[in-house]
Structure 1
């Protein structure tokens, strides 16, 4: 039996959605409502054969969800609201409370709202999206899928910061990690393609995009990840610095009279590829500038790769070896240059890339005799969300499948 599952990613002024036929995983439609709260909100809905775009006033998220459901009916993508069998919601932060995706109840929703202090820009609007869908689709179960949940298997040495203990005990300051839905999905697809249980593998997954993170996965469980208390930490990203000497911040604050908010802006929006290159936060633009001889652009690309390589090295030590390295995300999936730079001169680890395979983004790009598999796998967080809805809300009909 086929079930229509809606995967939702609610932002502060946007609503990203995808309707999937499960368990097959076929996309029925996808789209985006942008500029929520404005008179000129942009609505885009696409199926495999058609695309609709229009500009309409959308007052708030309730209006956005109402409009979305009206369009699905109007474009005859569904015949009735009862055709939607479940809704999965991406939620930024589950803290230590949520160790897996969960069926939404009133108490679940209240807990997500209480965790807003850990993700003030995301959890409140994620909760708002859940609330609106529960009101407008009361018969469709909602499932919350947390970016942090996959990393709740980290051991204490991997998540505790060397600060006074009370900051963890009283304020919950620890490594939480993010991109968990992507890392979980991609590692599962890897195991399927290799034809071996994930529980037998040591995997490092590099989700590289404007936001980037690296995750060590041993026996199917996350054992370390580069993002920490916030998505700012870890490897260098598009506009985020990643890890730096923390004493730099009070030094800059004193020297330039910057507020904590301005320092946060500096680290999150003005650093990374953009800050070092002075060109762009987009890897493609920086790569193009480097090709024309821009020294800072070249340095930015080198820094980007070296931070990832250092993280990979530490994770190999932690896991006692490596069976597969996976690239995903916008950069990981599409940039042969980035993959080549990350894998450069790693033959001593049994890891070597076949550049012909790399240039055409083959699924497996390692050389014939390499001991470590190197894979390029497109992430699909929406499908992972839909799979979790099936597993949790409709378990009797789950029958999950991973696309080839």
Structure 2
């Protein structure tokens, strides 16, 4: 067992994900998930020492779920009393402009996170409940909130400001916040290390491509632009989200289709993207359909790719030239060679080139997949948001 461990908790609206991590060596000692909170039957999975334990039982709320997690640690290990848990790190999606960095949680901080619920109505309520219960159940260690939005607090005003009436934007806290910040921060640091440079000496573009997808431009270690905005809906085409659209489409559907605001909201967030175009939001299924000759699936892939290339090109302009690295991460970015190949081939006019043999290798390690003469190094860096949360938590409590 490591000298020190951090329990990382990610409480969603109906789930609680957790990992017990050693920040020093990056080892995930134990992990698990509580699913279907509030439904008739919930599921709890706990993994430790190569064994997975699963239980099906009603989980009324987050309190019941987290108590069950602690029971599983007691029953199946490791014992938290002897695991040297020095802190609990909580993932919080929306920190608004209030939290530019990880923060030790106090009663006041909980209320501030609660106050940000209008900006993240799907995520922050679960975070608040998870924090409240975890502080009650584990009162003897500090609890730290790590925010998805903090990394993007370095964006210049020209990048985060929407061209709305100033008083409206201020009253309702409307600006670009960005999301997946812990992933972009972790990956950019590791990408710099992989090419033998300090992150402060690099300019980077990071493509976080999963069911949710975002891209960032990072100049000398600091984020200067990102694709997600007030919410995670803006930017790239995603599994079920539209990404960028003309905002007047909302008014058009309201007036002409008779759709309610809630119906349009649901459609844009949960029924669009790859799912809306091809009927599938799983990228493996999308590629299978393309292989079978589906024109809809091919178009979905082409739209997805076009948006990525468009953003990469614009972010090179924001950075003032070619970056040192373009890095692919998250589920699709790490595992789908054809996406990396097609993206880089579309950038060949800039002298950027991918090595097909290196690109085809599957690995859990950070790696360079560009050719030796490529003007930009192309990397694949597996993300690890939980490890980043544990390290930011440890760094804060060690100050």
Q: Give the shorter-chain TM-score range.
A: over 0.9
1:85 aligns with 2:81: no
| TM-score, normalising length: structure 2 | 0.96
Deviation at 1:29, TM superposition (A): 0.5
Deviation at 1:48, TM superposition (A): 4.2
Number of equivalences: 394
After the TM superposition, list the runs of 4 or more consecutive aligned residues in structure 1 that deviate by more than 3 angstroms: none
Deviation at 1:361, TM superposition (A): 4.0
SS at match of 1:223: strand
Partners of 1:218 and 1:162 in 2: CA distance: 24
Gaps of 5+ in 1: 396-404
RMSD over aligned Cα atoms: 1.3
Q: Kindly indicate whether the alpha-carbon contact (under 8 Å) linking 1:31 and 1:45 is maintained by their aligned counterparts in 2.
A: yes
Deviation at 1:129, TM superposition (A): 0.7
**Which deviates more from structure 2 when the two are superposed, residues 359-368 or residues 239-248?**
359-368
Q: Deviations over 1:236-261 (max 9, x none)?
A: 11111101111112111111111110
Q: Kindly indicate whether the alpha-carbon contact (under 8 Å) linking 1:361 and 1:376 is maintained by their aligned counterparts in 2.
A: no
Q: Report what 2:392 is aligned to.
A: 388
Q: Deviations over 1:188-227 (max 9, x none)?
A: 1112212211001110000001100001011111100000
Instruction: Mark the CA change 1:149 to 1:143 in structure 2 (over 3 Å): closer, same or farther.
Output: same
Q: Kindly indicate whether the alpha-carbon contact (under 8 Å) linking 1:345 and 1:352 is maintained by their aligned counterparts in 2.
A: no
Partners of 2:163 and 2:40 in 1: CA distance: 49
Gaps of 5+ in 2: none
SS at match of 2:116: helix
- The 5 Å alignment of 1:199-218 reads 199-218=200-219
Q: Kindly indicate whether the alpha-carbon contact (under 8 Å) linking 1:73 and 1:79 is maintained by their aligned counterparts in 2.
A: yes
Instruction: Mark the CA change 1:361 to 1:369 in structure 2 (over 3 Å): closer, same or farther.
Output: farther
Partners of 1:148 and 1:286 in 2: CA distance: 30
- The 5 Å alignment of 1:1-80 reads 2-78=3-79, 80=81
Deviation at 1:82, TM superposition (A): 7.5
1:365 aligns with 2:369: yes
Q: Kindly indicate whether the alpha-carbon contact (under 8 Å) linking 2:4 and 2:83 is maintained by their aligned counterparts in 1.
A: no
Deviation at 1:39, TM superposition (A): 4.4
Q: Report what 2:263 is aligned to.
A: 262
Q: Report what 1:109 is aligned to.
A: 110
Q: Kindly indicate whether the alpha-carbon contact (under 8 Å) linking 2:48 and 2:77 is maintained by their aligned counterparts in 1.
A: no
Instruction: Mark the CA change 1:134 to 1:41 in structure 2 (over 3 Å): closer, same or farther.
Output: same
Q: Kindly indicate whether the alpha-carbon contact (under 8 Å) linking 1:239 and 1:274 is maintained by their aligned counterparts in 2.
A: yes
Deviation at 1:265, TM superposition (A): 0.9
Partners of 1:346 and 1:163 in 2: CA distance: 34
Partners of 1:370 and 1:173 in 2: CA distance: 40
Q: Deviations over 1:262-287 (max 9, x none)?
A: 1101111111111112x301111111
SS at match of 2:368: coil
| TM-score, normalising length: structure 1 | 0.95
Q: Deviations over 1:161-200 (max 9, x none)?
A: 1111122221111111000000001011112212211001
Q: Kindly indicate whether the alpha-carbon contact (under 8 Å) linking 1:5 and 1:87 is maintained by their aligned counterparts in 2.
A: yes
**Which deviates more from structure 2 when the two are superposed, residues 155-164 or residues 342-351?**
342-351
Deviation at 1:81, TM superposition (A): 7.2
Q: Kindly indicate whether the alpha-carbon contact (under 8 Å) linking 2:208 and 2:328 is maintained by their aligned counterparts in 1.
A: yes
Q: Report what 2:178 is aligned to.
A: 177
Q: Report what 1:146 is aligned to.
A: 147
**Which deviates more from structure 2 when the two are superposed, residues 54-63 or residues 328-337?**
54-63
Partners of 1:103 and 1:82 in 2: CA distance: 21
SS at match of 1:343: helix
Q: Deviations over 1:107-151 (max 9, x none)?
A: 111110111111111112101111111111111110001011100
Partners of 1:16 and 1:227 in 2: CA distance: 23
Q: Report what 1:398 is aligned to.
A: none
Q: Report what 1:219 is aligned to.
A: 220
Deviation at 1:159, TM superposition (A): 0.7
Q: Kindly indicate whether the alpha-carbon contact (under 8 Å) linking 1:82 and 1:139 is maintained by their aligned counterparts in 2.
A: no
Deviation at 1:348, TM superposition (A): 2.6
